[in-house]
Amino acid sequence: MLSTTNINKKYGSHEVLNFNEWKIDEGIYWLKGGNGTGKSTLFRIISGQIPFKGEVNLNGINLRKDPIKFRSRISFAEAEPQYPTFVKGRELIDFYIETREAQRKQVDELADYFEMTPFLDNTIGSYSSGMLKKLSLICAFIGNVDLYILDEPLITIDISSSDKLYKLIKEKALQGKSFILSSHQEVSNDQLELDGVFQILDKQVIQL
Ligand SMILES: Nc1ncnc2c1ncn2[C@@H]1O[C@H](COP(=O)(O)OP(=O)(O)OP(=O)(O)O)[C@@H](O)[C@H]1O
């Protein structure tokens, strides 16, 4: 479903990633790695957010040749989401509904599911860090994509929200959707049945 070849990423002269091949089939994957090893960088590369050397393909769609189509098949939730503080939650969600051509009913259900509906008419600047994270997760689940990339989805959200997130991931996986998530917290098989665990080590993605 996702394949990468000859990936090289440098910030100035600082080389962060350098590997030949990394592929995943449909499924749920956990990407591990210590602080600063390059997880967010890899996520930004495979979701088409930053320049890099190499090739990325998703279900036959090449990121360089068909960037708009490629991005329409991926959802990326940043580890530390940043939005303009004066924007209301609902306005951000409306933007996603429009750009992702999603059904409002599906989104209303998602907002209810994560108990965010009462806060959607407040500005994002008034949100707690957990509320902000939940809003970013709701946005990531808006629309219909093939691959969800969730960078540290568990940070700042409470246990009940984590359980809800696991449940949602399982439901989507049953519908054929794939997930790559990073987490410094252990992801056990009771919480989520993983199809693979990877780690970034010495600029390479290795399977554990
Ligand atoms: N925009 C940037 N400009 C310069 N260096 C960067 C930039 N983004 C990341 N880096 C550097 O690239 C390396 C990898 O950072 P990255 O954020 O990808 O790591 P990470 O594995 O996600 O870390 P963490 O677990 O701490 O979130 C770090 O050394 C970081 O300082």
pLDDT in tens, 30-85: 999 899 999 999 999 999 999 999 999 999 999 999 999 999 999 999 999 999 99
Of residues 95, 135, 97, the one with CA closest to residue 116 = 135
Task: Kindly report the CATH number assigned to the domain that includes residue 23.
Answer: 3.40.50.300
Which residue has the CA at smallest separation from atom 7 of ligand 1? Answer: 11
Please, which pLDDT band fits residue 185 given cuts at 50, 70 and 90? confident
Which residue has the CA at smallest separation from atom 17 of ligand 1? Answer: 40
Residues facing residue 22 across a β-bridge: 4
Ligand 1 centroid, distance to 59 Cα (angstroms): 28
Domain extent, residue 89, equals 2-207
Kindly state the percentage of the chain with pLDDT values over 90: 96
Give the sheet arrangement for strand 204-207, strand by strand: 74-77, 147-151, 178-182, 28-32, 196-201, 204-207
CB burial string 63-79: b at 16+ within 10 A, e below = beeeeeebbbbbbbbbb
What number does the ligand 1 atom closest to the CA of 151 have? 22
Ligand 1 centroid, distance to 94 Cα (angstroms): 31
Whether residue 1 contacts residue 178, with contact meaning beta carbons closer than 8 Å, is answered with: yes
Q: Is the CB of 40 under 6 A from ligand 1?
A: yes
Model confidence, pTM = 0.95
Q: Is the CB of 35 under 6 A from ligand 1?
A: yes
Ligand 1 centroid, distance to 6 Cα (angstroms): 20
Please, which pLDDT band fits residue 100 given cuts at 50, 70 and 90? very high
Number of domains in the chain: 1
Choosing from 9, 40, 44, 45 the residue with most ligand 1 atoms within 8 A of its CB, the one to mutate for a pocket test is 40
ipTM over 0.95: yes
Q: Is the CB of 11 under 6 A from ligand 1?
A: yes
Ligand 1 centroid, distance to 42 Cα (angstroms): 10
